[in-house]
Amino acid sequence: MRFAQGLAIFLSLLSLVGAGKAQSASLPLAAPLQMDEAFRPSVSRLAPDRIAVEWKIAPGYYLYRDYLAAKSKNGSPIELETKAGEVKEDPGFGTTEVYYISAQATLVGWAETVELTYQGCQDGGLCYPPVTKSIDTATLEISDLVRAPPTTAQSSGDPTSSSVWATRNAAAPSFALAADSSTTEVDKLLAGGGLPLLIAGFVGFGILLAFTPCVFPMYPIVAAMIAREGERLTPKRGLILSSTYVLSLALAFGLFGLTAAWSGQNLQTALQSSAATAVIAGLFLVLALSNFGLFEIQLPAVIGNRLSSSRRLGGSVAGAAALGFTSAFLIGPCVTAPLAGALLYIARTGDMMIGAAALFALGVGKGIPLIVIATVGGKALPSAGAWMAKVRTVFGFVFVATAVWMVSPLLPDGILLLAWAALAVTFGMYFAGLKVNRDIAAARVLARSAALLFITWGALLLVGVGLGARDPLAPLEPLRARAATVEAATVAKADFRRIASTEDLAAQLTAAQSEDKASLVYVTADWCVTCRTIERSVLPASEVSAALEDVRLMTIDMTSADPKLEELLRSLEAVGPPTMIFFDQQKQEIDGTRLVGDITVDSLTASALAAGNQQP
Amino acid sequence: MFTRRTLLTSTIAMGAFAMLGTHRALAQQLTQDEVFNDKDAPVLGNPEGDVTVVEYFDYQCPYCKKAHPIVKKVVETDGNVRLILKDWPIFGDVSIFAAQAVLGAAQIGKYEVALEALMKTKGKLTHEDVESGLTDAGLSMTEIAASVNKHKAQISGLLDRNYNQALAFSFAGTPAYVIGSSIYPGVLDEKGLVDAIAKARKTRKP
């Protein structure tokens, strides 16, 4: 059947090009047969666990003894008994054992499905690529192994270019990472000035990161901790409490890094699971209710009740330490370039101490602005007085807002908007009813403006719920969108093809290569705070959509991780979301284009253009 | 020129269409330009020649190696033929290794030396055979390895394209030739090759 088809095509080819006789006239041999015509295998059972395969071989064709192989479906080899073949010795050929006319092999061993590979030639004419047949050992049925598409065809024994040089030389997967991908910030700083520079550098990175959304939850926690001190608050006390909190946070950071490197697991995923998020959000709600005066808890005492009963001051410090440690769960998982660098460094060199020291320094850096604020705040705030109760209530609202913000990826947009609306209206009403000192005109004006502002915003949000808005900062967005639907297309998360394994990645990169396109792999997750910022304010920018126009977009969604996703991340040497990796048209990552953590319109555009303009 | 290109493309597409339904998209993408003018595939013979001979081959395929001196002789005698040898490694890892090594050597200006060295080997090869073949020809495996690693994306890309083209042409195995707008599976003797080139030249200049 296949041969007839092949012949028909062959004839149509010849007639099309008007070369009807060229083939037969010029060849000393008949045109080669199709592989399945030249070699016809059949299977019979010799014993329950012994199966014989016999090939009928067309005259003038031969099979190689060396290339006969059998394996089970999962790749473990199955022994084949074969007889000695005819020794073919030829000046141009070397010495090989081959079979003419017929060949036999006996399968010794057992598997439900046996994959049998063989290879042969037309004597003097042509050599066939290896062919693999699947044998059902129960029914003795032989079938073609479905040929995988090119470039991912290794499983069927087809040749591909990848990975072979790798077995001889350094790792060479189907794509190439940038030469600088293994040069992390840790390497650079260590090379530049040793351990002191490394520590200083990471403290510096930490300070810069202190003002990103990643670290945002730390502020209400520390502010509440300080505010609760009430009349006991002094600059010194603010310094002690906040430093304890920060050092403990940094220590947790270092330990997390070690654990991550040790276990090879992506801790992020565990820490940022929906359950963990919900529990922490619940904790914030409890704190908020306490602040509203529903019941009385001392914040640090939540964890260190026994300690505080005996030594009140010491108890607060221990509480601060406990809070700091647990806060690392909140902010630790935010991947940033320095964090990724430190984790990769640990994974690559196994040098735990250097990596952990870098992470500790990073944590300290993140906390330094907090320490400054707490210390200065302790001095600046008037101590004691009725205002303290009001501040507590305001912090209660901040806690509720934090809780809502944390669970926002878990809630449908409508419900979320409704929650924001309720919060805004309630906060507004609180200000409206606030009894301020009548002598201070400014305080009255401020309270009323705040009331008006929040109630109006709450009302707009309620309208937004009705309109189906998504963004609490733009509740009337649907109206605007309806008015201008023909605006230039912008890039959205939906434009990214989701890939879930290294095979997916290889296939997508090959597709991009055949379209002569560069590729962008975006590692993201629903729980990734920075990713949401990127998707909301970076991707929709017109510069970005222009730069990504000829780029194949893929996303690795780590929202619920599985081993294949973990493996994929490892193969890309990526730590977690948000990470953007750019490949040029030749599947090569370009030096200096990888983006981790805080990604801006400018950095994304620059990397995309760099990858797209690489022409060898 | 345009009509001939269209002709070859549609022939290829038709052949692959019926034969390999799954490779339809691939076949439609294949053009004469990709087969004859791959920027990463080294050109032998006369680069300005009016006829192009493309041979899909493997360094372990005995008939490819046996026929190679004939191919070279015909191309040299003609003087107006571009010769492109496209690696289609069908004999496993060692063949891919050999192809990568020679293409790596090409990137440091040693294509012909490396190619001829491996074409002189006999039959089945081991990694060591490939290495000693290349070093005996005065090449340094260290330099070649460095070049392969430096250009691995380019080399893998070329090998992937060669492989896809061989599938799209439905070639049974190696060697297989594309000469002008005809395809020739299996080894060609001297007369066969000369005739095929003459025919390609004739259809080119009607």
Strand partners, A89: A95
Residues of B in contact with A160 (CB under 8 A): 96, 159-160, 163
Can you give the pLDDT at residue B185?
87
Q: What is the CATH number of the domain that holds B108?
A: 3.40.30.10
Mutate to test the interface with B, among A161, A169, A509, A519 (most CBs of B within 10 A): A161
Mean pLDDT (chain A, rounded): 74
Closest alpha carbon within chain A to B11: A13
Residues of B in contact with A23 (CB under 8 A): 184
Binary contact (A616, B172; C-beta < 8 A): no
How far apart (Å, rounded) are the C-alpha atoms in residues A444 and A221?
28
How far apart (Å, rounded) are the C-alpha atoms in residues A411 and A419?
10
**Minimum distance, in Å, between the CA of residue B154 and any CA atom of chain A:** 6
Fold of A32-159: Immunoglobulin-like (2.60.40)
Of B15, B152, B172, the CB nearest to A176: B152
The pLDDT of residue A15 is above 70: no
The runs of H, that is alpha helices, within chain B are 2-19, 24-29, 32-36, 62-78, 92-107, 111-119, 127-136, 141-150, 152-168, 190-204
How far apart (Å, rounded) are the C-alpha atoms in residues A563 and A238?
45
Closest alpha carbon within chain B to A89: B123
Q: Residue A83 — very low, low, confident or very high, per pLDDT cuts 50/70/90?
A: confident
Q: What are phi and psi of A391, to 5 degrees?
A: -60, -40
Give helix B127-136 / helix B111-119 axis angle, nearest 10°: 120
Binary contact (A172, B63; C-beta < 8 A): no
Q: Residue A446 — very low, low, confident or very high, per pLDDT cuts 50/70/90?
A: confident
Q: What are phi and psi of A380, to 5 degrees?
A: -75, -35
Annotated domain spans of chain A: 1-28, 32-159, 185-409, 411-487, 493-612
Q: What is the pLDDT of residues A54-69, one digit of tens each?
A: 999 998 899 988 888 8
More confident residue, B56 or A15: B56
User: How many alpha carbons fall within 13 Å on the CB side of residue A589?
Assistant: 25
Q: In what order do the strands lie in the sheet with A579-583?
A: A497-498, A551-557, A518-524, A579-583, A595-596
The pLDDT of residue A569 is above 70: yes
Q: Cβ atoms within 10 A of the Cβ of A507, count?
A: 17
Q: In what order do the strands lie in the sheet with A120-122?
A: A86-90, A94-100, A61-64, A120-122, A126-127
Give the strand pairing for A518-524 and A551-557.
Answer: parallel
Q: What is the pLDDT of residues A136-174, one digit of tens each?
A: 888 888 887 754 333 333 323 333 333 334 333 333 345
- pTM > 0.95: no
**Minimum distance, in Å, between the CA of residue A145 and any CA atom of chain B:** 14
Can you give the pLDDT at residue A228?
66
Mutate to test the interface with A, among B127, B156, B188, B189 (most CBs of A within 10 A): B156
- Structure tokens of A331? 């902010």
Residue % of chain A over a pLDDT of 90: 5
- Using the Cβ of B123 and the Cβ atoms of chain A, whether some distance falls under 8 Å is answered with yes
Binary contact (B173, A35; C-beta < 8 A): yes
Nearest one of B94, B51, B91, B90 to B74, comparing CA atoms: B51
Mutate to test the interface with B, among A14, A65, A164 (most CBs of B within 10 A): A164
Closest alpha carbon within chain B to A28: B189
- Structure tokens of A274? 């929906």
Q: Residue A234 — very low, low, confident or very high, per pLDDT cuts 50/70/90?
A: confident
Q: Residue length, chain A?
A: 616
Which letter does DSSP use for residue A111 in this model? -
Give the strand pairing for A77-82 and A102-108.
Answer: antiparallel
Just give the CATH number of A493-612: 3.40.30.10
Can you give the pLDDT at residue A554?
92
**Minimum distance, in Å, between the CA of residue B148 and any CA atom of chain A:** 9
- Using the Cβ of B183 and the Cβ atoms of chain A, whether some distance falls under 8 Å is answered with yes
- Out of A7-21, A134-148, A338-352, A552-566, give the one with best mean pLDDT: A552-566
Q: Residue A274 — very low, low, confident or very high, per pLDDT cuts 50/70/90?
A: low
Residues of A in contact with B154 (CB under 8 A): 586, 616
Is the CB of residue B165 less than 8 Å from the CB of residue B35? Answer: yes
- Structure tokens of B16? 């692959």
Candidate from A188-197, A246-255, A352-361, B66-75 with smallest mean pLDDT: A188-197
Can you give the pLDDT at residue B135?
92
Helix (H) or strand (E) holding A64: strand A61-64
Can you give the pLDDT at residue A183?
64
Helix (H) or strand (E) holding A312: helix A312-331
> What residue ranges of chain B have pLDDT lower than 70?
1-30, 204-206
Helix (H) or strand (E) holding A71: strand A69-72
How far apart (Å, rounded) are the C-alpha atoms in residues A207 and A172?
38
Q: Residue A380 — very low, low, confident or very high, per pLDDT cuts 50/70/90?
A: low
Torsion of CA A462, A466, A472, A477, to 10 degrees: -130
Candidate from A247-251, A511-515, B81-85, B107-111 with smallest mean pLDDT: A511-515
**Minimum distance, in Å, between the CA of residue B144 and any CA atom of chain A:** 11
Is the CB of residue B190 less than 8 Å from the CB of residue B70? Answer: yes
How much is the average pLDDT of A313-336? 70
Binary contact (B90, A29; C-beta < 8 A): no
Residues A440-479 as b or e (16 or more Cβ within 10 Å = b): eeeeeeebeebbeebbebbebbbebbeeebeebeebeebe
Which letter does DSSP use for residue B174 in this model? B
Which letter does DSSP use for residue A589 in this model? B
User: How buried is A102 (Cβ within 10 angstroms: 0-12 exposed, 13-18 middle, 19+ buried)?
Assistant: exposed
Binary contact (B188, A26; C-beta < 8 A): yes
Can you give the pLDDT at residue B75?
94
Can you give the pLDDT at residue A485?
46
Is the CB of residue A469 less than 8 Å from the CB of residue A478? Answer: yes
Of B66, B154, B188, the CB nearest to A586: B154
List the domain range (segments joined by +) for residue B149.
2-204
Is the CB of residue A53 less than 8 Å from the CB of residue A104? Answer: yes
Can you give the pLDDT at residue B9?
38
Q: Residue A92 — very low, low, confident or very high, per pLDDT cuts 50/70/90?
A: low
